[in-house]
Amino acid sequence: MDSSGINSGLIKWYRRIGLYTCSSVFLLFLLGSLVRATGSGMGCPDWPMCFGQLAPPFSEKQLPSNYQEVFLKKRIKKLNRFVAALEKIGLNERADKIRADKSLLEPEAFDVTKAWIEYINRLFGVLSGVFGVAFLILGFRMRKSYNAAFLWLLLGFIFLLLNGWLGSYVVATNLLPGIVSLHFMLSFICLFAFMKALDSVVPTLKLHSQNNRMSWNLLSFVLFVVVILGTWSREQVEVLKDLGTLLTADGEMLNFLDMDWLFVVHRYVPVIIAVWGYFLWRRSNVPLLDSHGFWLLAASLIQICLGAIHIVYVIPTWTQIAHVVLGSGLLTYVFAVSLSFRKSKI
């Protein structure tokens, strides 16, 4: 038993399943970036099945001859429901954009590689759901002693379900700008709620005193905004591609000057974060590799370099995946550090 009267074995299982849940949700960032970088978002044209099957086929010959027409009709029905829902909550402009997007009326041809990449992404989404249910059950059993933790856990589970539902419309809208950014944002809210639920019972990092707590909380917010703006900036690249203005006049690099001011924020704020990390590192009295500020500085500099590669070489697949994963990892790390502060000095 711990000080709250909870069986120590239950606490251990809560910690273990909590870590599995958080890890599986984070892994979805990696798989999601792979899906986006390889253009596999429509690898499975329906949801939650894939071409009407539990697992995608290995050959187009395993599908009926009219499969494109069949799944296009299903997608149009889902789009109509989604548009109607958007109009009911007052998002008429977004609904009109979806309705006017002719590319959503084009059938999707089968591609075995893209189908399996998207399918694996969905499998890990299901795995996150299974861990989330187990985590919720354990939290429910401990709710009398850890009520706040259970409420955070319940919030995370609700956002997990909401994001799973939204994922089906990410597919139906063929990665429509705005929908993907919302999907990414809800994923982080889900992850952070689970992390808070876990940390409220079993701290995941070494505890700190109040020193620099406000700074790390602010860093979490700033990084969250920068990461979401990165997703929005990536969606703008698709818009430039559709407009035929993806490259500069000489055709040598990304035409980033035609992107909006939100991209400017995403591009230059990491420089401020790197400087911020430097001062946090210099103020700490711990070994180099134990300094959170040092890792913040190092990760920020790598992200700046990856961003430059995106512009010069027009978003190579490997840098896109690395940029998303490192950015997501940095934000998760900073949020974990912000959770490690406690009111009493350690």
> Do 300 and 326 meet the contact criterion of CB atoms below 8 Å apart?
no
Instruction: Identify whether residues 136 and 209 lie together within a single domain.
Output: no
Q: What separation in angstroms does the CA of 242 have from each of 237, 239, 263?
A: 9, 5, 18
**Distance of alpha carbon 181 from alpha carbon 14, whole angstroms:** 31
Instruction: Identify whether residues 198 and 252 lie together within a single domain.
Output: no
Instruction: Identify whether residues 156 and 251 lie together within a single domain.
Output: no
Lowest-pLDDT range, 80-94, 138-152, 264-278? Answer: 80-94
**Distance of alpha carbon 232 from alpha carbon 102, whole angstroms:** 21
Q: How many domains does the chain have?
A: 2
* pLDDT tens for each residue of 47-69: 778 888 888 999 888 888 888 88
Q: What is the pLDDT of residue 344?
A: 42
**Distance of alpha carbon 116 from alpha carbon 43, whole angstroms:** 7
Instruction: Identify whether residues 106 and 243 lie together within a single domain.
Output: no
Instruction: Identify whether residues 177 and 234 lie together within a single domain.
Output: no
pTM of the model: 0.86
| Per-residue pLDDT band at 287 (split at 50, 70, 90) | confident
Among candidate residues 291, 150, 294, 307, the one with its CA nearest the CA of residue 226: 307
Percentage of the residues of the chain whose pLDDT score is greater than 90:
40
Q: Of 153, 172, 204, which residue sits at a domain end?
A: 204
Burial of 72 (0-12, 13-18, 19+ CB in 10 A): middle
Q: Of 204, 238, 259, which residue sits at a domain end?
A: 204
Domain span at residue 61? Answer: 1-204
**Distance of alpha carbon 65 from alpha carbon 46, whole angstroms:** 17
**Distance of alpha carbon 297 from alpha carbon 276, whole angstroms:** 8
End-to-end Cα separation, the chain, in angstroms = 23
DSSP string, 1-17: --TTS--HHHHHHHHHH
Percentage of the residues of the chain whose pLDDT score is greater than 70:
92
Helices (H), the chain: 8-37, 67-88, 92-100, 112-141, 147-172, 179-199, 213-243, 261-283, 292-313, 317-339
Instruction: Identify whether residues 11 and 138 lie together within a single domain.
Output: yes
Beta bridge partners of 104: none
